Chains A and B, each alone.
Chain A
């Protein structure tokens, strides 16, 4: 009975949702002057670009291998420093471990940090430290810090409360309570989040160079400005290979961890 009665209402709801979404898209397109004609007019140019990109400039490989390695190093250092900062902050954000007057301010700072896009962070650090790898590393540190801290504290809140209770009962102080009750339970997921953040750092680091933060991103900027599209495609190809490779390795390791 009840399903029969509800069916037409559900249908109307779905229809209205789609209509609303379509209206929103249409409105947004008008306000931003995005039109299908622009897209169609641009198509031949897109084709030209693609033709110029093929074949990739293989010779260029030797020039970009060093910046590519720099990018990976930046990602690794960033993820490591980020993880080191993230662990204590995650502890202070977990509602089952610390009282609200500690977790709420810590979470507020974390949320604030995560609203800043990585590219903007890099731009700010470039303004402070000048062009180079250092601002990139700092930007990635804060970027991974935000991600790892968030994922870790959410995992911490899901840990088994039993061992914590047992540690309270044996008379452990707070530090011992965390060392014996929390850390063994969180170590594996934490390591997995570190790898995950390294993985997305490599992708993020590849474009940080656009704002002068070192690595392979600078080369993207150069080749595009000099209209050397064959070199750009070589860069894209190498980045793709590196990202896929690192994704593959970290995923395998993470599977083993969890």
Chain B
């Protein structure tokens, strides 16, 4: 589903972001990428939908190379890949509904979307997406009236309305408290299981990674140092990924789930 081949990234200032990464993600996997901050987790994730350009290699999504895609082709690949951000990235002054519908713009003509003329099916789709994350009653509220956890669920709904086949989540719970963290992670898990949407999630909490992932990817200084099923990712494996013992702040800790 996602093929990452010999991908390297060097920033203009010479910093190495990624070093010759080779990965292949299958449909329906729940992949969690772990590593210390600056290890290249975010760079890797953002390379997949080309929010970041890579310096070398090729990335293919459903056998279409996003690395060499241009214009309409690039937009149509991106349409299939939803993205969830640490800071939610909603338009705070717009309603929840408009934020969710913004996930549909790739499917319609410019004129139609600019005039806000979404067909009935799209509005139903957006409503269903909100239902799946349990915040339909907030549909006509302005996004800035919502709590962090609710905003993150709106952004999940946006990815669902987009009918994405893959969802990339860049530290989706880093700005949330432990309680809402669980709720958001549970939403992602449920969507992954019920709809078969492939999840690629960056996390820095090791216990969360273990709890939700089916497969763990470990990055250290831009290099791939672990790739395997969650069952085989022992404490030693994590210590190796982090290059040191695991600290308490890398664990979310026990909360009633």
- Report which A residues bind B (CB closer than 8 A): 160, 162-163, 165-173, 175-176, 179-181, 184-185, 187-188
Is there a chain A Cβ closer than 8 Å to B49's Cβ? yes
Is there a chain A Cβ closer than 8 Å to B75's Cβ? yes
Taken together as a complex, chains A and B put the C-alpha atoms of A165 and B158 apart, in Å, by: 14
Neighbour of A166 across the interface among B74, B75, B90, B106, CB < 8 A: B90
Q: Is there an interface contact between B75 and A171, defined as CB atoms closer than 8 Å? A: yes
What would be 28 A-B contacts, judged by CB atoms less than 8 Å apart?
A162-B87, A162-B88, A163-B89, A163-B90, A166-B85, A166-B89, A166-B90, A166-B155, A166-B158, A169-B49, A169-B78, A169-B82, A170-B78, A170-B82, A170-B102, A171-B74, A171-B75, A171-B78, A171-B105, A172-B75, A172-B102, A175-B110, A176-B105, A179-B113, A180-B105, A185-B91, A185-B93, A188-B93
Output the nearest chain B residue to A177 by Cβ-Cβ distance.
B105
Q: Is there an interface contact between A165 and B85, defined as CB atoms closer than 8 Å? A: yes
Output the nearest chain B residue to A180 by Cβ-Cβ distance.
B102
Write out the residue numbers on chain B whose beta carbons fall within 8 Å of the beta carbon of A172. Answer: 75, 102, 105-106
Interface size class of B (residues with CB under 8 A): 20 to 34
Write out the residue numbers on chain B whose beta carbons fall within 8 Å of the beta carbon of A179. Answer: 113-114
Write out the residue numbers on chain B whose beta carbons fall within 8 Å of the beta carbon of A170. Answer: 78-79, 82-83, 102-103, 105-106, 158, 162
Using known A-B contacts A165-B51, A166-B85, determine if residue A175 contacts B93 with beta carbons closer than 8 Å: no
Number of A-B contacts (CB under 8 A): 76
Write out the residue numbers on chain B whose beta carbons fall within 8 Å of the beta carbon of A162. Answer: 85, 87-90
Output the nearest chain B residue to A172 by Cβ-Cβ distance.
B105
Residues B148-164 near A (CB distance < 8 A)? 155, 158, 162
Is there a chain A Cβ closer than 8 Å to B186's Cβ? no
| Majority secondary structure of chain A interface residues (helix, strand, loop or mixed) | helix
Q: For residue B116, give the distance in angstroms from its CB to the closest CB of chain A.
A: 9
Write out the residue numbers on chain A whose beta carbons fall within 8 Å of the beta carbon of B114. Answer: 175-176, 179
Is there a chain A Cβ closer than 8 Å to B76's Cβ? yes
Write out the residue numbers on chain B whose beta carbons fall within 8 Å of the beta carbon of A171. Answer: 74-79, 105-106
Write out the residue numbers on chain A whose beta carbons fall within 8 Å of the beta carbon of B105. Answer: 167, 170-172, 176, 180
Taken together as a complex, chains A and B put the C-alpha atoms of A167 and B114 apart, in Å, by: 13
Q: Is there an interface contact between A181 and B91, defined as CB atoms closer than 8 Å? A: yes
Write out the residue numbers on chain A whose beta carbons fall within 8 Å of the beta carbon of B74. Answer: 171
Q: Is there an interface contact between A163 and B91, defined as CB atoms closer than 8 Å? A: yes
Output the nearest chain A residue to B110 by Cβ-Cβ distance.
A175
Is there a chain A Cβ closer than 8 Å to B94's Cβ? yes
The 6 A-B pairs with the shortest beta carbon distances in the complex, nearest first, are A162-B89, A171-B106, A171-B79, A171-B78, A169-B83, A166-B89
Using known A-B contacts A176-B110, A184-B94, determine if residue A169 contacts B87 with beta carbons closer than 8 Å: no
Write out the residue numbers on chain B whose beta carbons fall within 8 Å of the beta carbon of A185. Answer: 91, 93
Taken together as a complex, chains A and B put the C-alpha atoms of A165 and B85 apart, in Å, by: 9
Q: For residue A179, give the distance in angstroms from its CB to the closest CB of chain B.
A: 5
Write out the residue numbers on chain B whose beta carbons fall within 8 Å of the beta carbon of A181. Answer: 91
Write out the residue numbers on chain A whose beta carbons fall within 8 Å of the beta carbon of B110. Answer: 173, 175-176
Is there a chain A Cβ closer than 8 Å to B81's Cβ? yes
